[in-house]
Amino acid sequence: MASSTHPNAPCAACKFLRRKCIQGCVFSPYFPPEDPTKFANVHKIFGASNVSKLLNEIAPHQREDAVNSLAYEAEARLKDPVYGCVGAISVLQRQVLRLQKELDATNADLIRFSSDQNTLMMPQSSGNSLQNPHMLPPNYGAYSWNYNP
Amino acid sequence: MHHFFPSFLTQIILHLLTQIMTLKGGTSQACAACKYQRKRCTPECALAPHFRPEQTEIFKNAHKLFGVRNILRILEQVDPAMKNEAMRSIIYQANMRDRSPVHGCLGVIYQLQYQIRQAEKELYTVFSQLELYKQNQRRQQEITLSPMDSPESQQLQLGMGVEQSGNPGLTLFQNEVNDHTPQQPFVPVAAFQISYSGNENGSDVINVDSKDSMNMNNVMWGQQICYNENNDKSQMVNTQPLTIQDEVTHDYDEIYPFFDTIDDTQSYIDSKEANESSSDSSQLKEATQSIQHVAGNTLKNAQLQVNKCLEIYGLVGGLGFGYVILGVLMEDIAQITVACTGSELMQALTFF
C-alpha cells in the first residue's frame, strides 16, 4: 500500500496538493504515488477534506475498501456527470426485475408440466397399484402392506 | 369610513403581515442548504429547487460527501434539463454513503450482482428441469403413437445411456436407476423414472459445482438436452461430456463412428499380455456370460471385443467370437438390464 520506491516519497495526495507528506498521512497507504489519477479523480468529485473526514470516521482495516469505492464512484461520476454510478445501479435493478419475472413465469410452467406429468402417470400406475395404497378400494386393503386402514 | 384609517397605516399593517407570513414558512423561506449554511436564501439560490426546507438530513448527507462547491460544479456541467436527474443521483449516492460509510453505492452494486447471479443460477436449473419434462412428454407421446417400436427403442435408449468419459475402461450409466429389476417392454413409467432420476443426478451435479463452472455445466446441460430433443433414439439424460455425446450415432447399427471415440485400447493391451496363455474356449465362455449381464453399451462392447479378438486371435477367432456375440445378443436383447457397473464391465474386458 505504501510507496515501495522510497520510504519518504510523498503519496499521490500530498503530491497533488503540493504539501509535505508527513509520517501519519491518512492518504498515503491508499494513494500510492504510482497512481496519481486515483486521487485526482477523488479530489475532483469529493474533495480532499471530505475524503479525509470520511476516512477518519472509518476503522483502519476498512479504509482501503472505502477508498476503492470512492475512487470507483468518482470515476463513474466523471464519465457520466448526470447519473454517475447510480446509472449502473439502475441497469442492475432492471436486470434483477427482468430475471425475477422470467423465473416466476418459468416456475409456473414447471408446475404446470409437473402436474401434467403426474396426471399422465396416474392411469399408467394402476398396474402397480400395490405401491400406491390410496388407489386401492378399501376391501383390498388387507392385501397391501402399505395400506393402513 | 376610510378617512379614519389612514393609508400609511394600511401599508404598515400589510408589511407586518408579510413579515409574519415569511417567518411562518411562506414561499421565501430558506432552503435546507442555506439553512445549513446559515445564510440568506436568495431567489437565485441554485440548490433551493432541490432541497426543500424540511430536507435538512438529506442535504447534510450530500454536503458531507460532496460539499456545496462540488455539487454546484456538477450541476454546472450538466444540461439544464438534466439538472433534476443529476441532483437526484447525487442525493441517492450521498444517502447510500450515509447508510454504508465503507462501501456506499458500490455495496449496492455488489448486492445486485449477487442477486442476479443467484437468479440466473435458479433460472438455469428451472429451465433444465422444464426441458426434461418437455422431453419426457414428447417421448410419452411418441410411445403412445408408435407402440410397436417402443420395446427396442426403449431398450436401446436404456442401453445407450453410457458415460463416455474417455477414461481407460468404460464406465456405464449407473445413475440412480440401480434397481436390478428386469426392464419390461412398454413401460413408460420406467423410462420416466430413469430419466427423472437422471435429472436429479444432473441437477445435483449442477448445484454442487462452483459458480463459474456451474454456469458452464448448465450451458452444457442445456446443450445436451437440446441434442436429446433432436434425436429420436437419443440417450437418456446423463452427465456425458458434450463432445462425446455429439459423436453418438443415431442408428444403433452404425456403431463404427462411436467406437472410434472410445479410448480404452490401453486396458486391452495391458490385459492382453496377461491372458495370452488362457484357452480360447474358456475365455469365450466367460466373455459370453459376462456380456449377458452387461447393460448400457452392450453392442458397442461387442464390437470392441470383436476388434480386439481380431487383433489377438486373428481373423478366425475374431469372426467366431463375433458370431457368438451376435447370437447371444439376439436372444437376450429383451432382457438386458441397465444396472451394470463399470467394474463389472472392466472385469469382463480383462478376460481379453
Q: Which of B93, B102, B140 sits opposite A62 (nearest CB)?
A: B102
- Of residues B308 and B121, more confidently modeled: B121
DSSP 8-state assignment for residue B163: B
* Angle at the Cα of A78 from the Cα atoms of A74 and A83, rounded to 5 degrees: 90
Partner residues linked to B163 by β-bridges: B171
Q: What is the pLDDT of residues B29-46, one digit of tens each?
A: 888 888 888 888 888 888
Residue window 274-333, chain B: list those with CB within 8 Å of chain A: none
B86 touches chain A (CB under 8 A): yes
Name every chain A residue with its beta carbon within 8 A of the beta carbon of B134: 113
Interchain proximity A70–B104, CB inside 8 Å: yes
Confidence of residue B257 (pLDDT cuts 50, 70, 90): very low
- pLDDT tens sequence across B57-81: 999 999 999 999 999 999 999 999 9
- ∠ Cα B290 B294 B297 (to 5°): 135
* Distance (Å) from the alpha carbon of A144 to chain B's nearest alpha carbon: 20
Q: What is the pLDDT, as a whole number, of residue A123?
A: 61
Res. A15: pLDDT tops 60: yes
Residue B140 confidence (pLDDT): 86
Name the band, by pLDDT with cuts 50, 70 and 90, for residue A18.
Answer: very high
- The highest-confidence range among A2-6, B90-94, B269-273, B323-327, by mean pLDDT, is B90-94
**pLDDT one-digit tens code per residue, A81-130:** 999 999 999 999 999 999 999 999 999 988 887 887 777 666 654 444 44
Rg of chain B over all Cα atoms, to the nearest angstrom: 39
Ranges A37-46, A136-145, B29-38, B159-168, most confident: A37-46
Task: Looking at mean pLDDT, say which of A2-6, B114-118, B221-225 comes out highest.
Answer: B114-118
pLDDT for position B250: 42
Chain B residues in contact with A85 by the CB 8 A cut-off are: 93, 105-106, 109
DSSP B299-341: HHHHHHHHHHHHHHHHHHHHHHHHHHHHHHHHHHGGG--S---
Q: Supply the pTM of this predicted model.
A: 0.50
Taking the domains of chain A in order of start, what are their residue ranges?
1-79, 81-117
Question: Across the interface, which of B93, B102, B134 has its CB nearest the CB of A86?
Answer: B93
Cβ-nearest to B105 among A54, A89, A93: A89
Taking contacts as CB-CB distances below 8 angstroms, the residues of chain A near B101 are 54, 57-58, 66
Q: Which of B51-60, B137-146, B343-352 has the lowest mean pLDDT?
A: B343-352
Spatial CB neighbours of A70, under 8 Å, sequence gap ≥ 6: A42, A46, A51, A54, B104
Where b means 16+ CB within 10 Å and e means fewer, B200-230 reads ebbbeebeeeeeeebbebbebbeebbebbee
B188 touches chain A (CB under 8 A): yes
pLDDT at residue B332, as a whole number: 53
Q: Does B92 touch chain A (CB under 8 A)?
A: yes
pLDDT for A58 beyond 50: yes
- Using DSSP's 3-state secondary structure scheme, residue B171 falls into strand
How many residues can be counted in chain A? 149
Kindly provide the ipTM of the predicted complex, given to two decimals. 0.76
All 3 cell numbers of residue A93?
435493478
pLDDT computed for residue B89 by the predictor: 96
Question: Is the distance from CB of A76 to CB of A90 less than 8 angstroms?
Answer: no
- Cβ distance B195 to B161 under 8 Å? no
Chain B residues with CB-CB distance to A50 below 8 A: 64-67
Q: Averaged over B81-87, what is the pLDDT?
A: 94
Reported as type and span, the H/E element at residue B217 is helix B211-230
pLDDT of residue B152: 52
Q: Per-residue pLDDT for A66 more than 60? A: yes
pLDDT value of residue B3: 57
The mean pLDDT of chain B is 62
How far is it, in rounded angstroms, from Cα B223 to Cα B229? 10
The answer to whether A25 touches A51, Cβ cutoff 8 Å, is no
Distance (Å, rounded) from C-alpha A89 to C-alpha B264?
53
